[in-house]
Chain A
Amino acid sequence: MKLSVMVNEGPYTHQASDTAYNFIVAALTAGHEIFRVFFYHDGVNNGTRLTTPPQDDRHIVNRWSELSEAHDLDLVVCVAAAQRRGIVDSDEAKRNGKDSDNIAPGFRISGLGQLIEAGVQADRLLVFGD
């Protein structure tokens, strides 16, 4: 089946990002296709490459980047929510006069239309949040 996932909370504060990640790993293991993972609300904070979690804990952002690379996943961070929370790629930095960008590898910034498309194109949409 083709599955889409929406992640509405950032790393560590809520379990949503962990549950979504574990669900996706299980889905991929079972042979399903992940159409898109869309990060909204504070979920966009999963897309910053500047986190330094304690060494003895899971690295949530890197885990997403690695999964994205290993399975060619489409990890999309909502542009409107990202602008509110300061998640920026180089294009957004130029466009909005920011002095740097911070998007993590494997993520891309795009509009809410990508979420709607994720709902239309997939067989199932799952939402993980608070």
Chain B
Amino acid sequence: MLHTVNKSPFESTSLKTCLGLAKSGSDILLIEDGVYGALAGTIHTIMLAEATGTISVYALGPDLKARGLPEDRLIPGIKVVGYDGFVELACANDKVQSWL
């Protein structure tokens, strides 16, 4: 399953809820304000950093760029993709769950 999270973890519990329910082997894509969850060195970093062991975590490049977040500030192991990668992830997984 592909999970998308569009809320900042500082604003909403969506990322936490997603991580509580996502099974190992699934994909998580951070989009819109959700990309703030990809930042290293924040109070929320640990919950996502721990997940990258069993879940593939992606962040949407255009949303990172829009917010001035360079790739070298992200949690190691998070992969940056464009909208083409978003489409590929949606098709490669059996369904998409949007954590709004």
A residues apposed to B, CB below 8 Å? 1, 3, 8, 15-16, 19, 22-23, 25-27, 29-30, 32, 123-130
Contact = CB atoms under 8 A, between A and B. Distances in A.
A3 B98 contact: no
Given A16-B6, A32-B91, 11 more contacts: A3-B90, A15-B6, A19-B32, A23-B83, A23-B87, A25-B83, A26-B82, A30-B84, A127-B96, A128-B6, A129-B98
B5 interface: no
A8 B91 CA distance: 21
Contacts of A127: 96, 98, 100
B44 to A, nearest CB: 20
B95 interface: yes
Main SS at interface, chain A: mixed
Interface of B: 4, 6, 31-33, 62, 82-84, 86-88, 90-91, 95-96, 98, 100
Contacts of B32: 15-16, 19
Given A124-B96, A127-B100, A129-B100, A19 B87 contact: no
Contacts of B33: 15
Contacts of B4: 126
29 contacts: A8-B100, A15-B6, A15-B32, A16-B32, A19-B32, A23-B83, A23-B86, A23-B87, A25-B83, A26-B82, A26-B84, A26-B87, A27-B87, A30-B84, A30-B87, A124-B90, A124-B95, A124-B96, A125-B95, A125-B96, A126-B90, A126-B96, A126-B98, A127-B98, A127-B100, A128-B6, A129-B98, A129-B100, A130-B6
Contacts, number: 51
B91 A1 contact: yes
B96 A22 contact: no
Contacts of A125: 95-96
Contacts of A30: 84, 87-88
A26 to B, nearest CB: 4
A27 to B, nearest CB: 5
B64 to A, nearest CB: 13
Which of B32, B33, B82, B83 has most chain A Cβ within 10 Å?
B83
